[in-house]
Amino acid sequence: MHKVVRIKNLDCANCAAELSEELSAIEGVESAFADFINQRVTLEYTSEEAFSKAVYHISHFEEVEIIENVPKSKKDRHLKEILSICAGAALFVPALVLQLSGMAYWVSFGLFLAATLAAGWEVLYRVAMNFPRMFRGGFHPSVLLDEALLMSVAAAGAFAIGENMEGAVVMILYQIGELLQNIAVGSSRGAIARLAALQSDTAIRLNGESQTEVPSEELAAGDVVLIRKGDRVPADCRILAGQTSLDTKSLTGEAYYREVGAGDELLAGCVNEGSAVRAEVLRPASQSAVAKILDLVENASAKKAKPEKFITKFARIYTPVVVLLAVLIAVFPPLWQGYNFSVWIPRALNFLVISCPCALIISVPLTYFSGVGTLARYGVLAKGAVGLDVLAKVKVAAFDKTGTLTEGKFSVANVIGGDHVLELAAAVEKFSSHPLAEAFTDTGAVKVESCEEIAGMGMSAVADGKRILVGNKRLMNEYGIAAEDTESENLTVYVARENELLGRIEIADRLRPEAAETLGSLKDAGIERVAVLTGDTRSRAECALAGLPVDTICAQLLPEEKPLRAADLKADGALMYVGDGVNDTPVMAESDVAFAMGGLGSDAAIEASDFVLASDRLSALPKAVRAAKKTRRIVLENIVGSIAVKAALLAFSLFGFIPPWAAIFGDVGVMLLAVLNSMRMRAKIK
């Protein structure tokens, strides 16, 4: 069983890792993931008893509370943290004046201690609460060994050796860093809250001439709604009457209006900027493009990239090792230097402070989260950070032709052989799942008795006791029927009866207007080779793709042959595949990373993909590639930069070159630089 539990007051990524570990240890809980950024816990469990235990554990973890409903977005002013820091600073200043003047030592000591407690009471409280939790359900020392303990030990140690000012500075600076970190994380949460605003809360449902305002989630397929000027489209629907201009920026990230009229499909989340229109709901609001965006972005945190998994495991081992090393530094060197503990204890405390892994624990998942949110702004839904990591390495891009590079809106352009050829084809094609079948309108003149779809070829049916074949040249050849290639740029469907070719039908399909620019931009973004996989003939594919910067056309492929060609393409580097149909799912499974067309794409293709183009616009692909490369670059910068700076500071601290306040400033500074670097993902992707 699966359930998502909404929470609040989960304070840090390290706490989230601890909560996940403790929940996973509960009997009957198969997996648990506590998401610090989205403030939710995702549980997989086998029984209601296990779920009840998990809920109890969540609600008793530090200050975490379970909330029933997602609260409306409101700005977090961090009043409690600011007051603590201000109180600590207010006590610190007079204490510093007294110490510098050499007056009233015990008064200054008391003020420094009070400043430490005022600023860091939450840190000390967390350490105190971790002690009983360490023995809950066994012995878990990692629960205690977190950054709260490191800061508490550093502050207490400073007071113990008479460095009262240093002890207070350690706690005040640490709390300032925590505040700034929370503000940065809150900014990313705000981005998801703004995505949630894409969903319309209500809709105007029409019943004859009457109008009723209803919650959007109550809309069902077939309902008729009125969308006025300024209204946000409440669900994916099709215009029945009227014409208007649609602002699609919320889904595509592109500032332009789309002119739509009767028969055109509207995606939920877009804004009507023209006249009022009547529209028929195609899918419930829960299955709309916007719902997919929110669901995928919110759940993307659970699918971690390799660097993110490494940092989580690293932090669990790293902190206990650091504490042990600090103890060794404080104890063993003085044994050979005349028991001079007063020199080595401060160095050990500096070592503890500097080595705090906050910069990595926060910045790496925050960068991936920001990357996923950035893609969502452009209508690209990422199913997890894993896909971002792979997409950054892609060298080869492969595309399905029909419905991906072309619009996939078919119409009959020409009929050779008479009206009865079209009637036969329409009667048979109504049983087909292929997108081409949409081009035919069945008149009911022909009664089909049985029908069979032949993958990659066409349809075989029986009508009036005679076998009817409708499909491509390969199907005709399979039954020994002579069919000549045509020079037309349109798709050709042959029709035969009782092994006699009756005629052919040409089906028109146009290239997407943004296809050429998209493929060119992909090459500018670092894609070295572009290929197209199609079941069409080579001559027709070359004609249809003329003018596109395509390096390789793999034509006349059956569905089972496409994965084999995809495997060949992977020899040149990581492969990205973009498709829209059920027949694309094997290729998506074979490719390193896959994109599905969200609006027109099949459910199977969307399920098999790593990314979904919610608005069906190819122009989002280059932005996705650039965003993925930028995400990975920032993650590596944070990892390498944080480790390098900390290594240098640790070396200086061992030789006694920096005081404790400089150590905490260096640690907080590294964390803030890493977090601010992560926030670069919020910038516009060109």
What is the secondary structure of 592-635 as a DSSP string? SEEEEETTTS-HHHHHH-SEEETT--TTHHHHHHHHHHHHHHHH
Task: State yes or no: pLDDT of 109 exceeds 50.
Answer: yes
Rounded to 5 degrees, φ, ψ at 278 are -100, 140
Q: Give the mean pLDDT of the chain.
A: 80
Nearest CA among 308, 437, 284 for reference residue 385: 308
Percentage of residues in the chain having pLDDT higher than 90:
15
pLDDT (tens digit, 9 = 90+) per residue, 21-55?
778 888 888 888 787 666 778 888 888 888 888 88
Residue 67 CA: distances (Å) to CA of 3, 45, 55, 64: 14, 20, 11, 10
Nearest CA among 269, 77, 74, 313 for reference residue 190: 74
The predicted pLDDT at position 310 comes to: 63
pTM comes to 0.65
Tell me which of 400, 536, 592, 616 is the catalytic residue.
400
Task: State yes or no: pLDDT of 193 exceeds 60.
Answer: no
The predicted pLDDT at position 358 comes to: 65
Percentage of residues in the chain having pLDDT higher than 70:
81
Give the residue, 366 or 117, on which the prediction is more confident. Answer: 117
CATH 1.10.260.40 corresponds to the domain 220-283 = no
Distance of CA 103 to the CA centre of its chain: 58
Long-range contacts of 88-93 (CB under 8 A, 24+ apart): 88/115, 88/116, 88/118, 88/119, 88/120, 88/168, 88/171, 88/172, 88/175, 89/115, 89/119, 89/172, 90/115, 91/115, 91/118, 92/168, 92/169, 92/172
Token representation of residue 403:
């419905």
Superfamily of domain 411-508: Calcium-transporting ATPase, cytoplasmic domain N (3.40.1110.10)
Nearest CA among 394, 382, 362, 392 for reference residue 639: 362
The predicted pLDDT at position 72 comes to: 47
Confidence of residue 186 (pLDDT cuts 50, 70, 90): low
Give the residue, 362 or 234, on which the prediction is more confident. Answer: 234
Query: How far is the C-alpha of 210 from the C-alpha of 189, rounded, in Å?
Result: 40
Query: How far is the C-alpha of 657 from the C-alpha of 676, rounded, in Å?
Result: 28
Give the residue, 306 or 123, on which the prediction is more confident. Answer: 123
Query: Residue range 626-642: average pLDDT?
Result: 89
Contact 88, 168 (CB under 8 A): yes
pLDDT (tens digit, 9 = 90+) per residue, 274-313?
888 899 998 887 777 666 656 655 555 555 556 655 666 6
The predicted pLDDT at position 71 comes to: 46
Strand partners, 41: 5, 34
> Is position 76 annotated as part of the catalytic site?
no
Q: Of how many residues is the chain composed?
A: 686
* Kind of pairing between the strands at 394-400 and 529-533: parallel
The predicted pLDDT at position 367 comes to: 80
Rounded to 5 degrees, φ, ψ at 613 are -85, 95
Task: State yes or no: pLDDT of 245 exceeds 80.
Answer: yes
Q: Which alpha helices (H) appear in 218-273, and where do they start and end?
A: 249-252
Query: Residue range 489-498: average pLDDT?
Result: 87
Query: Residue range 77-81: average pLDDT?
Result: 75
The number of beta carbons lying within 10 Å of the beta carbon of residue 621 is: 26
Rounded to 5 degrees, φ, ψ at 532 are -125, 130
Confidence of residue 653 (pLDDT cuts 50, 70, 90): confident
CATH number among 3.40.50.1000, 3.40.220.10, 3.40.50.300, 3.30.2350.10, domain 380-405+512-616: 3.40.50.1000
Q: Which range has highest mean pLDDT (454-458, 576-580, 607-611)?
A: 576-580
Task: State yes or no: pLDDT of 559 exceeds 90.
Answer: no
CATH number among 3.40.50.280, 3.30.70.100, 3.40.367.20, 3.40.640.10, domain 2-66: 3.30.70.100
Tokens 């009959």 correspond to: 412
CATH topology of 380-405+512-616 equal to that of 411-508? no
Give the residue, 76 or 65, on which the prediction is more confident. Answer: 65
The predicted pLDDT at position 494 comes to: 94
To which H or E segment does residue 241 belong?
Answer: strand 237-241
Sequence spans of domains, the chain: 2-66, 79-193+298-370+630-682, 220-283, 380-405+512-616, 411-508
pLDDT (tens digit, 9 = 90+) per residue, 401-429?
877 888 777 888 889 988 889 999 999 99
